[in-house]
Amino acid sequence: MTPAPGEHEGPDSGAYGPPTDDPLARRLFPPLPGRVRWGLHRMERILAGLDAPQRSAPVLLVGGTNGKGSVARIWDSVLRAAGYRTGLYTSPHLVAFRERFLVEGAPLPDRVLEELAEELRPALVRFGPTFFEASTILAFLAFARAEVDVMVVEVGLGGRLDATNVVSPVLTAITNVSMEHSDLLGSTLAEIAREKAGIFKPGVPAYTSAEVPEVLQVLTEEAAAVGVPLSRIRPPEGEMGLGGIRCTLRTRRWGRLELAAPVAGRHQLSNLALAVRSLEALPPRLLPTARAVIEGVAQLRIPGRMQIEEDPPRRWILDVAHNPEGITALVETLRGLPLQAPVVAVTGILSDKEWGPMLRGLAEGVDANLLVVPDGAPRARRWDPDRVVETLPELDLLAMGETAEAFQRARELTRRGGTIVVTGSSHTVGAALRDLDRLPLEALPPSDDFE
């Protein structure tokens, strides 16, 4: 199945306006469709009128189901360690909309985003792009005006018709492919893989860490169709602990690299290998040194992904896991860490996700599970915890009210020590970051002296 151009209810579905209650996002744009509307024509027409800001610097583009945000963060960290001025565009945000647009690892002042959005307003009113399209255009314009040396861009949904796919990248990567958004991307793995492979471009190096044979076959065929070989990167052996991961990575460009990243989770070994090995294919003018690779990996920060926070006598683990594969990776990581019992989960999942398989999988790694409606979740996508509890009586779930109530209950259950795991949507993890007063630096308003 190939999605046809037109309007489709999807992850950003809603009436008009941003699918977020962030005040900055609501100030930036006029009322815009939140729903998915396939096609790149709106993006191309608006960007053409802005002198094509997406072409103002080389672009690294990463797609996939899980891990694409981590790969983007690794690329960005290494390139900054190499001395390049980077622009990083990712989605969704955890706490604040400004997290999506980072220059040299820091958010832009709200004033700058507001001025650029005002400049965009006539085109947005005329062509009516979706909220995600408008955000993507804003990112390209902001990076062009900031005169970045390189842009690192994470695909939003799919690939072929995603708003980010108007770039001419110098490097593309796809992390993996699993069943997601079947109503939009296809009803089989092969169909979804074909949509994601739409980011491959003639003559542009293509990499993947996908392992499923059916997916690999499609990605290989699609890469060949545009005249590029697909390089498959396998995860290295490595060590994992509360302090992060360590591994030895063999590369053609830099030889043997001893890498240590302050991120937990065995699945991050795969993301790390894909990110570093793909950087070998960059044009000479962008190629980092071995030292920059090592330093960039060591300085890596990925808020909300297996983020560990100490709050004696308990430990918190915050991890956005929005599909069954994400939950599987989370549970595998929990089993490999020296965690104090009880392990109490606070889980908030959006209604259009596969919450049944996700909750069954999570039950294998926790002692109790408190269900919440994620703060700030779009009304059309809010699940009903009471109905979930009735549907899955065998899991001994507990439906809660507000997230603050669930966090307090989790604290009570771990008052003598234990582990609290917050997972599900980015909204849920964002609520925990606010509750703990551990807001990401990217979410905080920067000083207004940006140049």
Q: Which CATH number fits domain 6-302: 3.40.1190.10, 3.30.300.30, 3.40.50.300, 2.40.10.120?
A: 3.40.1190.10
d(CA 176, CA 210): 4
The boundaries of every CATH 3.90.190.20 domain in the chain are 307-435
Task: Find out whether 39 and 2 touch, Cβ atoms under 8 Å.
Answer: no
Task: Find out whether 134 and 113 touch, Cβ atoms under 8 Å.
Answer: no
* Beta-bridge mates of residue 33: 16
Task: Find out whether 71 and 174 touch, Cβ atoms under 8 Å.
Answer: no
Q: DSSP readout, 295-309?
A: HHHHT---TTSSEEE
CATH number of 307-435: 3.90.190.20
Other Cβ atoms within 10 Å of 313 Cβ, number: 12
Q: Quick one: which of 355, 348, 356 has its CA closest to 428?
A: 348
Per-position pLDDT tens, the chain of length 451: 444 433 333 344 333 445 677 899 999 999 887 666 778 999 999 999 999 999 999 999 999 999 999 999 999 999 999 999 999 999 999 999 999 999 999 999 999 999 999 999 999 999 999 999 999 999 999 999 999 999 999 999 889 999 999 999 999 999 999 876 656 676 799 999 999 999 999 999 999 999 999 999 999 999 999 999 999 999 999 999 999 999 999 999 999 999 999 999 989 999 999 999 999 999 999 999 999 999 999 999 999 999 999 999 999 999 999 899 999 999 999 999 999 999 999 999 999 899 999 999 999 999 999 999 988 888 888 999 999 999 999 998 999 978 999 999 999 999 999 999 999 999 999 999 999 999 999 999 886 655 5
Cis link prior to 30 (omega < 30° from 0)? Answer: no
The boundaries of every CATH 3.40.1190.10 domain in the chain are 6-302
Q: Which residues contact 405 (CB under 8 A, 6 or more apart)?
A: none
Q: For the chain, how far is it from start to end, CA to CA, in angstroms?
A: 46
Give me 400's structure tokens: 């809660």
d(CA 367, CA 343): 5
